[in-house]
Amino acid sequence: MADGAAWWQSGVIYQVYPRSFQDSNGDGVGDLPGILARLDHLQALGVDALWVSPIYPSPMADFGYDVSDYTGIHPLFGTMEDFDRLLAELHRRGMKLILDFVPNHSSDRHPWFQASRSSRDDPKRDWYIWRDPAPDGGPPNNWLSEFGGGAWEWDAATGQYYYHAYLKEQPDLNWRNPALRDAMLDALRVWLDRGVDGFRVDAIHHLIKDAQFRDNPPNPGWREGMSPVRRVIRLHTVDQPEVHDAIAAMRRVADGYGPDRLLIGEAYLPIDQLMAYYGADLTGFQLPFNFHLLSTPWEAKTLAALIRTYEAALPPGGWPNWVLGNHDRSRVASRLGRGQARVAAMLLLTLRGTPTLYQGDEIGMTDVDIPPDRVQDPWEKNIPGLGLGRDPVRTPIPWDDRPRGGFTTGEPWLPLGPDHDRVNVAAQAADPSSMLALHRALLALRRAEPALSVGRYEPVSAENDILSYERRHGTGRFRVLLNLSAGERMVDAVPDAAHIRLSTHLDRGGEPVSGILRLRPDEGVVIGFDDKGKGGE
């Protein structure tokens, strides 16, 4: 922990997608004992906290994001004893555990929804969002589902529609109902009581919908090939002002357990809207996920502008964060190519703010082509062929060069990538120039030098495909130079008395720098000024 910063400010978060991390019982799906068995890898990597995607009981219509019991463990993943063992072992190693909290919707199999749909008079009827049909008998308004089709499902037994922002198997909870709100906050308390260190809160911008149920306006920017939900602008279905009261209530619960419990919010929003998720006087999320590196063109000027805009937009005291990948988006090594994925790792791990690493990105996994008969993701099944499906980024981690990559002894639920005989953890652990070696070196440098985690960010330049900035803290001063091109670049005017601390090619540590510096294709370097400059790598 650097200089009084909270653990979640100086630390690095690693996302585990448990179905694909490590299987321990041969059923082809990863589980909690599997995670426990692989903690040495995460510790050697040097991450501080694990965020684990949902492990709760679930019919798996959306692979765990359809929760049927907020306080249990799905037998597929193990038992509550397995969970407690994992949590204790993480804490013994000085690491934190963050769970996924899915407040916007439950599974349609959740007992609450079963009760809610049983009759219009059921006390839990109002825990979900029920509406009468429009005068023509059709859905109450034009709201659409993220996963394709309308967002209203007809319930013949009670003669009303219910709203689902995602699948019809994921009915939206009604956070305007105080009893529902209390029940959800109680679920947080159950896990906080067990000792978890925080939550990544799912799809938070969807939590509250327009009280008047007005139609969403058409989106003039929609084109064939875009996700059908974008045919409308989600004016009345996402980012409603009352969401911040609900977030503040979650935060009060977390704060009741001390200042170290962390809430991260998932909201894909433009920067100005995102900032509101820190809450008035920082009473909201400590970290509203910043996803803008996922979509910003990989070009020096646009990236410099993104960093500048984001930094400038932060509320006073608001702590930044950066994300390069997750279980919903194309992998960084596929988006940018393997060479630039190394540069991107250096960017992620030297920017000011908390980085989140997605499992497998530390070995440069790429998106895996999924044959049609192996498609699992309901999004791809509902709207095939638009590239919306998320299976390609959710394939199992190859741990070694065994046939199923050491992930399972059974049939993996998704196929492993064709290159897993080479792109695997064991091979890269033995290779001092590998992507894994680069991640370990970056994380170690970041840990050793507070300037790189909690230090100031100072832009230097964005020209000729080179993005350059400095990080400073106390006497520590570092300059990062990232060659975003596949060609060689000469960089002018690097002040002297500096040394390369780390190159993405892992072969220049300790090299003195003065005047003109040659950067090879896809090369990034961290340069250290002052007496700390020697050594490295």
Q: What Rg value do the Cα atoms of the chain yield, rounded?
A: 24
Q: How far is the CB of 327 from ligand GLC (least distance, A)?
A: 6
From the list 31, 48, 239, 266, the catalytic residue is 266
Q: How far is the CB of 376 from ligand GLC (least distance, A)?
A: 12
| Helix, strand, coil percentages, rounded to 5, for the chain | 30, 20, 50
In terms of CB distance, is 15 or 22 closer to ligand GLC? 15
354 and 454 Cβ atoms separated by less than 8 Å: no
Determine the 3-state secondary structure of 81 from DSSP: helix
In terms of CB distance, is 266 or 391 closer to ligand GLC? 266
> Which is nearest to 87 in space by CA: 189, 195, 192?
195
Q: How far is the CB of 59 from ligand GLC (least distance, A)?
A: 13
Beta-strand relationship, 476-483 and 456-463:
unpaired
Q: How far is the CB of 324 from ligand GLC (least distance, A)?
A: 15
Angle CA(243)–CA(244)–CA(246) in degrees, nearest 5?
70
In terms of CB distance, is 45 or 203 closer to ligand GLC? 203
Active site residue 202: yes
Active site residue 266: yes
In terms of CB distance, is 62 or 537 closer to ligand GLC? 62
272 and 313 Cβ atoms separated by less than 8 Å: yes
Q: In 47-120, which residue ranges form alpha helices assigned H by DSSP?
A: 80-92, 111-118
Q: How far is the CB of 202 from ligand GLC (least distance, A)?
A: 5
By CB under 6 A, name the binding residues for ligand GLC.
62, 65, 102, 166, 202-203, 266, 327-328
Q: How far is the CB of 104 from ligand GLC (least distance, A)?
A: 7
In terms of CB distance, is 277 or 529 closer to ligand GLC? 277
Q: Which H or E element spans position 154? A: strand 152-155
> Which is nearest to 10 in space by CA: 1, 18, 21?
1
From the list 153, 202, 361, 380, the catalytic residue is 202
Backbone φ and ψ of 478, nearest 5°: -135, 145
Q: What is the dihedral of CA 204, 188, 60, 86, to 10 degrees?
A: 120
In terms of CB distance, is 205 or 446 closer to ligand GLC? 205
Residue with the shortest CB distance to ligand GLC: 65
Active site residues: 202, 266
